[in-house]
């Protein structure tokens, strides 16, 4: 009986905390955050899109391949800028985490690809140096 009462009060407390959290309210958002995250996902997946991360501020930048669309992702805020318009969209925690994770995974894939290219060039250069030294008669 005591255990059931404790569980009931825990559930009630969790519900009250969730209701009071302003980042969970969806009454002012509508479908803007889902459309904005879809735009981000689509641009991130394109290989010609420029992705940039600022390590100090934690901001993430997306620049489309045709330089027509720029997106800034910062703490629970998404800014979409074109030459004609600018939108500031507030994201809830779940949507922000999802977009940030997708962005970070794509940057990591690109980093791994670039690193493998660098290492393959180094290996090729070292083998060329070795052959040149081997062919020299000192």
Confirm whether 19 is domain-assigned: no
Confirm whether 97 is domain-assigned: yes
Q: Is the pLDDT of residue 91 over 60?
A: yes
Confirm whether 108 is domain-assigned: yes
Domain encompassing residue 68: 25-135
β-sheet with 86-90: strand ranges across: 50-53, 60-63, 69-74, 77-82, 86-90
Tally of domains in the chain: 1
pLDDT band at 52 (very low <50, low <70, confident <90, very high): very high
Are 91 and 36 in contact by the 8 Å Cβ rule? The answer is yes
Confirm whether 125 is domain-assigned: yes
Mean pLDDT for the chain? 85
Confirm whether 120 is domain-assigned: yes
Q: Is the pLDDT of residue 22 over 70?
A: no
Confirm whether 10 is domain-assigned: no
Confirm whether 1 is domain-assigned: no
> What pLDDT, on a 0 to 100 scale, did the predictor assign at position 78?
92
Mean pLDDT of 9-30: 72
Q: What is the pLDDT of residues 101-110, one digit of tens each?
A: 999 999 999 9
Q: At what angle do helices 32-45 and 93-135 cross, to 10 degrees?
A: 10
* Residues forming beta bridges with residue 71, ordered by sequence position: 62, 80
pLDDT band at 135 (very low <50, low <70, confident <90, very high): confident
Confirm whether 6 is domain-assigned: no
């Amino acid at each position: 009986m005591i255990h059931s009462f404790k569980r009931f009060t825990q559930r009630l407390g969790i519900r009250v905390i969730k209701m009071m959290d302003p980042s969970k309210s969806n009454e002012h958002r509508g479908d803007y955050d889902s459309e904005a995250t879809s735009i981000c996902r689509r641009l991130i997946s394109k290989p010609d899109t420029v992705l940039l991360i600022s390590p100090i501020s934690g901001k993430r930048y997306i620049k489309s391949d045709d330089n027509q669309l720029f997106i800034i992702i910062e703490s629970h805020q998404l800014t979409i800028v074109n030459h004609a318009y600018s939108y500031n969209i507030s994201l809830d925690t779940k949507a922000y985490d999802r977009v940030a994770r997708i962005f970070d995974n794509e940057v990591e894939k690109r980093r791994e690809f670039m690193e493998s290219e660098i290492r393959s060039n180094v290996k090729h250069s070292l083998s060329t140096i070795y052959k040149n030294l081997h062919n020299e008669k000192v």
